[in-house]
């Protein structure tokens, strides 16, 4: 057995999956074989969620049934609504999201049933209810009345409605829908691997998703979209951008929203998200964030040959849509529930306890001295 340590499991293949991969020959993230950029242009988020969970794109009848299942399960209990209302207003929304899924697990009668059919029923409930509860906190912490879900609205439209009391124009909704598709799944990233690790002990799906949310919160993973916005707010205006980024590189600071361990030629999701970022900017009459975006991007590519990842255009897009910065990653959550759930189901189907080894580098064997001799 090799004693070589692979920090962060770099380059280690630990299992196989049928859910997604980055195809090197086309440098594209694919879900079940479909290029994600094609899915963005030809499908809505519900179609892609069905694909990720079931392995195939739905026909009209399957999609209608799937949407009906989601709509029927959107309402949250009075208990959960009251819990959300009484959470500290200064709580980070990702901590709230984590707690929401835990409470859903306490309320669900099938929590401990890990059979495939029960897990799929629970997936639908978690997928449908989590956005409702997160939107409830979006309102509650501003001391605004909680808005329940509305019938006959799409997944994206309904989230806007529950947060703001209205649905924006179709181009804004499409941009949001695209972001959900791009965030839905990404193979064995740290939160997905966390979910699969928890699942490997035969724990329940709510626990696995709770752990995944905790993992996603970190700025080196899902929290990067928040850090991008913090960076842009520090820069303040386009005139400061060139000086700021050059100074950051001089100090060898980490510039959030750039680089990705999986992509060698740039994140394949960026061109699509960038396209919709620019559309939203045009609708909002924004020039500031687009200019900052372009300056920082060009310097990073020119000086470091490091390309942006999907969090870079997504952060300012969500900002222009009216979402608070600390809600960017919870939006990521409501999308990624699909990918996590698919991996949890896949892990159960051919489970083996995930238990890696470690190389010990502590003190050699020592004898214990009595307390009065130490």
Q: Which residue has the tokens 């740290």?
A: 190
Asked if residue 235 lies in contact with residue 244, where contact means CB atoms within 8 angstroms, the answer is yes
Q: Are residues 276 and 242 in the same domain?
A: yes
Is residue 132 domain-resident? yes
Is residue 228 domain-resident? yes
pLDDT, residue 2, reads 59
**What average pLDDT does the segment 214-233 reach?**
89
pLDDT at 220 over 70: yes
Separate counts of helices (H) and strands (E) for the chain:
16, 3
Active site residue 221: yes
Active site residue 307: no
Q: Are residues 215 and 229 in the same domain?
A: no
Q: Are residues 121 and 258 in the same domain?
A: no
Asked if residue 159 lies in contact with residue 135, where contact means CB atoms within 8 angstroms, the answer is yes
Q: Are residues 236 and 98 in the same domain?
A: no
Active site residue 311: yes
Global confidence as pTM: 0.93
Q: Are residues 130 and 213 in the same domain?
A: yes
Instruction: Bin 135: left if φ > 0, else alpha if -120 < ψ < 50, else beta.
Output: alpha
According to DSSP, residue 232 is labeled H
pLDDT in tens, 134-174: 999 999 999 999 999 999 999 999 999 999 999 999 999 99
Q: Are residues 174 and 298 in the same domain?
A: no
Domain count, the chain: 2
Is residue 278 domain-resident? yes
User: Of 35-39, 148-152, 324-328, 359-363, which gets the smallest average pLDDT?
Assistant: 359-363
- Distance between CA atoms of 31 and 49, rounded to whole angstroms? 10
Q: Are residues 127 and 44 in the same domain?
A: yes
- CATH number for position 279: 1.10.230.10
Which is the catalytic residue, given 108, 177, 206, 260? 260
- Distance between CA atoms of 307 and 260, rounded to whole angstroms? 8
Q: Are residues 153 and 171 in the same domain?
A: yes
- CATH number for position 106: 1.10.580.10
Is residue 284 domain-resident? yes
Q: Are residues 119 and 154 in the same domain?
A: yes
Residue range of the domain that includes 192:
20-220+329-349
Q: Are residues 204 and 273 in the same domain?
A: no
Which is the catalytic residue, given 204, 206, 311, 348? 311
Q: Are residues 194 and 236 in the same domain?
A: no
pLDDT, residue 155, reads 98
pLDDT above 90: percentage of residues in the chain: 84
pLDDT above 70: percentage of residues in the chain: 99
Q: Are residues 241 and 112 in the same domain?
A: no
Kindly write down the DSSP assignment for every residue of 69-133, as one continuous string. Answer: HHHHT-PPPHHHHHHHHTS-TTS-HHHHHHHHHHHHHHH-TTTT--SHHHHHHHHHHHHHHHHHH
Which is the catalytic residue, given 15, 92, 113, 221? 221
């Amino acid at each position: 057995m090799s004693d070589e340590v692979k920090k962060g499991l770099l380059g280690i293949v630990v299992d196989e999956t049928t859910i997604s991969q980055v195809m090197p020959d086309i440098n594209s993230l694919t879900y079940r074989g479909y290029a994600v950029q094609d899915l963005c242009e030809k499908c809505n988020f519900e179609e892609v969620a069905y694909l990720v969970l079931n392995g195939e794109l739905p026909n009209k009848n399957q999609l209608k049934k799937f949407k009906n299942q989601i709509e029927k399960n959107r309402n949250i209990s009075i208990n959960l609504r009251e819990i959300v209302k009484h959470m500290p207003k200064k709580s980070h929304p990702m901590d709230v999201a984590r707690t929401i899924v835990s409470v859903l697990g306490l309320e669900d009668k099938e929590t401990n049933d890990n059979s495939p059919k029960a897990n799929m029923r629970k997936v639908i409930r978690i997928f449908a209810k989590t956005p409702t509860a997160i939107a409830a906190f979006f309102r509650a912490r501003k001391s605004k009345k909680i808005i329940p879900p509305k019938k006959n609205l799409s997944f994206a439209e309904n989230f806007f409605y529950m947060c703001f009391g209205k649905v924006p124009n179709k181009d804004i909704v499409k941009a949001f829908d695209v972001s959900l598709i791009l965030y839905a799944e990404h193979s064995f990233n740290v939160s997905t691997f966390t979910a699969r690790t928890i699942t490997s002990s035969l724990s329940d799906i709510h626990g696995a998703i709770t752990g995944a949310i905790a993992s996603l919160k970190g700025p080196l993973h899902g929290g990067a979209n928040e850090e991008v916005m913090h960076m842009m707010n520090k820069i303040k205006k386009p005139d400061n951008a060139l000086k700021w980024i050059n100074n950051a590189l001089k100090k060898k600071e980490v510039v959030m929203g750039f680089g990705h361990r999986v992509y060698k030629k740039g994140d394949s999701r960026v061109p699509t998200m960038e396209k919709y970022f620019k559309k939203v900017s045009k609708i909002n009459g924004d020039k500031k964030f687009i200019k900052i975006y372009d300056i920082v991007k060009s310097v990073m590519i020119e000086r470091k040959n490091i390309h942006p990842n999907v969090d870079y255009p997504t952060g300012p897009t969500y900002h222009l849509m009216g979402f608070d910065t600390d809600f960017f990653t919870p939006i990521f959550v409501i999308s990624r529930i699909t990918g996590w759930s698919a991996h949890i189901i896949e892990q159960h189907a051919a489970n083996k306890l995930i238990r890696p080894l470690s190389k010990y580098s502590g003190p050699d064997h020592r004898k214990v001295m009595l307390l009065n001799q130490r």
